[in-house]
Structure 1
Amino acid sequence: MMKNVHGNTVDFLGEAIVAGRYAVGSSIPPEPLLCEELGVSRTVVRESVKSLAAKGLIHTGPKVGTRVLPSDDWNWFDSDVIAWQSRVGLSREFIRDLQDLRRVVEPAAVRLAAERATDEDIAGIEDAYAGMKRAVLQGGDYVTFDLRFHQGLLRASHNRLLVQMSKALGALLRTSFEISTSKKNGPRRSLPLHRAVLDAVIARNPPGAEQAILVLIDGAHQDIEQVLASRRRLPRLGRPALQLKAAAPV
């Protein structure tokens, strides 16, 4: 969906703050300069500043002006903040924070999914798995279907707070999948592990589903730690997903 003028302005300023173009404690440019630079009205700039303040990126006040806040104050569960950080580049520290969050959240969510998933939920996860398998066999976009698989599991927990967390976890999941996909036979090896998770959910086996997802998470953790230790560049999430080449049948 195309963003409106307000959305584009928030996007521009938010990404600039996350990228460090405005230092912590400094002021963002005054309204007249932003209006001229971005070609927008003062009303748009003021509303955009309010949006950024609500996300914890800046603080506004009559005596202090508009100041950039440190990253610890940012709302890391806001999908825009995650998107800006993803486009700028995920730091190694941030990746490790997200790995910790994933290991806490996803097993609990999958356990709930094994108790609560509807037929519609399971059909959606099955479709995502079929897309992953098709990409392995015929080539194509594996990462997008992998992401749908895991987000489908989180939605199947039918817990609104866990579903909201999936937006923050999405950045890690996409990074993890990009790394795994780049490893030789990574997607091919992970398919049966995904199948084990889905089968446990279908069987209404919460302990089995939890254990199966932990096997997947720990494998992804090892892949990511290898990349972090090698100092190789992490995937940029603004780019299209990696495309697999066709492989022999699984």
Structure 2
Amino acid sequence: MGYDIQELKQELIVVTSSLRKPPARASIAEFLAEAIFAGRYQPGDFVPRELDLCERFAINRSAVRSDLRQLVDAGIIERISGHGSKVREYAEWHILDPQVTEWMARYAAPNPEIQREILAFRLDVEPYVAMTAARRANARDLVAIEEAFEGLGQNLRNASCPEERRLHSECDVAFHVAIFKATHNIVWAQLSHILRPSIQLLVTMSNDNASDPEDSLERHRQVMESIRMRRPQEAFLAAQAVLEGTADALGLEPGASSLGRSFYLP
């Protein structure tokens, strides 16, 4: 019986590789983050005890504590000696921490309270960002905004499958990020990267639920044109209209948090 030396070498590599890499253990941090962001554990609720988690996931107590520390460091839970770990109020969460925004984008879709908080923040911030972009955007910025808008329109008209709807939402996010960058303020530009997961969350859900996508596209076009024509006040109001459309699609009240409702526009 003959042996293929190359095949034997390849099998040896596979076996050796499998010996070097122990199977990944379950992540308690991911498990609890999903449950908390989805609203199954509300602020004030206690999450399962360390011993219960050890038994459920068949891992040792130090591993459980290490994972819980991730949630503590993110401001999401607090450890109370003798009682366990309790979910903190939303205001205590480190909402701009990259790990928190990643969890938010992946797990927060079913939680309207978190959606409402993100929407309120965007209503306070993005109209001012659009207004600043209308004053500072250069030719390259305008090209980036227009390219994102064109992709938004193209994928809206062709959105007949999940992949095309995903591309539509990605272009929508790119549109908003391009406006942040057009402010030519390094803090706003960096903030756009931090906020991207939370923007993605609302954009994807609102696009899926929008009753009239063409109206949404027109609102985005008005933001783009206001920036292109150097009309800061119009850009401010157009950005508000986009987010009010988002609120409507999500079935959320925009609320009175938007500063621009009672703020004089220079």
Equivalent residue, structure 1, for 2:101? 79
Equivalent residue, structure 2, for 1:233? none
Distance 1:155 1:145 in 2: 15
- TM-score under structure 1 length normalisation: 0.69
SS at match of 1:217: helix
Equivalent residue, structure 2, for 1:17? 36
Larger radius of gyration: 2
Matches within 5 A, 1:50-65: 50-60=69-79, 63-64=81-82
Distance 2:246 2:35 in 1: 31
Distance 1:110 1:223 in 2: 21
* Structure 1 counterpart of 2:221, one-letter code: R
Distance 2:217 2:152 in 1: 8
Deviation track 1:78-109 (CA, whole Å, cap 9, x = no partner) reads 3045236524x122x44433332222111011
Of 177, 181, 184, 2:207 maps to: 177
* Structure 1 counterpart of 2:70, one-letter code: S
Equivalent residue, structure 1, for 2:20? none
Equivalent residue, structure 2, for 1:187? 213
* Structure 1 counterpart of 2:131, one-letter code: R
Residue pair 2:43, 2:86 contacting (<8 A) in 1 also: yes
With 69-78 and 142-151 compared, the bigger mean Cα shift is at 69-78
Residue pair 2:142, 2:228 contacting (<8 A) in 1 also: yes
Equivalent pairs, count = 216
Deviation track 1:190-237 (CA, whole Å, cap 9, x = no partner) reads 323212211222333322321222232233334444x88xxxxxxxxx
Q: Which runs of 5+ in 2 are unaligned?
A: 1-22, 254-266
Q: Which runs of 5+ in 1 are unaligned?
A: 229-250
Of 95, 112, 125, 1:105 maps to: 125
1:122 matches 2:142: yes
* Structure 1 counterpart of 2:170, one-letter code: T
Q: CA RMSD in A?
A: 3.3
Cα distance, 1:41 vs structure 2: 5.3
Distance 2:146 2:82 in 1: 54
Of 175, 197, 212, 2:238 maps to: 212
Distance 1:223 1:69, change over 3 A: closer
* Structure 1 counterpart of 2:204, one-letter code: R
Percent identity (aligned)? 23
1:132 matches 2:152: yes
Distance 1:22 1:193 in 2: 35
Residue pair 1:14, 1:84 contacting (<8 A) in 2 also: no
Distance 2:33 2:247 in 1: 29
- TM-score under structure 2 length normalisation: 0.65
Cα distance, 1:168 vs structure 2: 3.5
Distance 1:134 1:107, change over 3 A: same
Residue pair 2:54, 2:61 contacting (<8 A) in 1 also: yes
